[in-house]
């Protein structure tokens, strides 16, 4: 079985009922600042969800995204008022699918980015290997600081036999992760640092042409060969 995971910066946010659903994405504001907004937003006749997404780079520091046929001026005015009362700026509105984020007709996305923070980077939920000679792997990064690395070592002795289904054996490694503002991702397992990666930004070739990518390049030589592979996330595949 060959491990495959399509990573795209796309989220489909849906709601089963017509009751409005407001999704709030925070990047860099303190819990206290966001809670001030939630105190007002929670009084509205709407469901509220705080996401762990990243704010698309093309969005302004305060932004609203909604479905093109959503026309609820009363709700939007209430959201604007709540933002201003919580000392956020007036939001800019963005069209459907901007930043590859999608909402249904009853949902609204509110995006908050703290302009005071520089070099802010939010770790993606998943990274994967690309063109690695030793393994196919995906790494999941959980909000609680844990990571789950699932990988399939490429068995070189069987590489010439394309018909064998057991060429790949799924394995798993778990531990703790941390990311520093200098762009360094660190993985620890059983209290030992097992790999460090350095973040860079470039473009990678995809079926749809060149697309922006975040690339994590290993800095240590590990005896676990799959940890010597680059990890990537490619946007807009």
- Tell me which CATH code domain 126-234 carries: 2.40.128
Segments of the chain assigned to CATH 3.30.70.2390: 11-113
Contact present, 99 and 13 (Cβ < 8 Å): no
User: Higher model confidence: residue 103 or residue 115?
Assistant: 115
Q: Residue 73 and residue 68: Cα distance in Å, rounded?
A: 13
Q: Residue 72 and residue 52: Cα distance in Å, rounded?
A: 26
- State the chain's mean pLDDT as an integer: 81
Please tell me the number of Cα atoms within 13 Å of 208 on its side-chain side: 8
Segments of the chain assigned to CATH 2.40.128: 126-234
What is the predicted pLDDT for the residue at 154? 78
Q: Residue 182 and residue 81: Cα distance in Å, rounded?
A: 37
What is the predicted pLDDT for the residue at 165? 47
Q: Does domain 11-113 have CATH number 3.40.50.300?
A: no
Give the pTM.
0.58
Residue-wise pLDDT tens digits, 91-107: 999 876 555 566 777 78
For the CA atoms of 62, 86, 52, 228, the dihedral, rounded to the nearest 10 degrees, stands at 70
Cβ neighbours of residue 36 closer than 8 Å, sequence gap 6 or more: 85, 86, 87
């Amino acid at each position: 079985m060959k491990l495959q995971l399509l990573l795209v910066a796309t989220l489909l946010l849906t709601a089963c009922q017509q009751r409005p659903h407001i999704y709030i994405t925070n990047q860099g504001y303190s819990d206290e600042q966001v809670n001030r907004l939630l105190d007002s937003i929670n009084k509205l006749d709407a469901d509220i969800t705080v996401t762990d997404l990243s704010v698309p780079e093309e969005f302004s520091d305060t932004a609203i995204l909604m479905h093109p046929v959503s026309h609820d001026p009363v709700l939007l005015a209430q959201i604007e008022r709540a933002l201003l009362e919580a000392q956020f700026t007036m939001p800019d509105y963005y069209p459907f699918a901007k930043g590859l984020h999608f909402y249904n007709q009853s949902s609204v996305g509110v995006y908050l980015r703290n302009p005071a923070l520089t070099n802010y980077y939010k770790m993606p939920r998943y990274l994967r290997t690309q063109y690695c000679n030793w393994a196919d792997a995906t790494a999941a990064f959980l909000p609680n600081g844990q990571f789950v690395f699932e990988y399939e070592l490429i068995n070189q002795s069987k590489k010439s036999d394309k018909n064998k289904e057991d060429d790949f054996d799924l394995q798993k490694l778990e531990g703790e992760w941390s990311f520093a503002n200098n762009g360094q991702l660190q993985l620890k397992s059983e209290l030992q640092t097992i790999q460090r990666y350095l973040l860079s930004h470039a473009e990678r070739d995809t079926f749809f042409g060149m697309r922006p990518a975040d690339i994590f390049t290993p800095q240590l030589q590990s005896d676990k060969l799959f940890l010597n592979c680059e990890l990537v996330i490619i946007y807009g595949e």
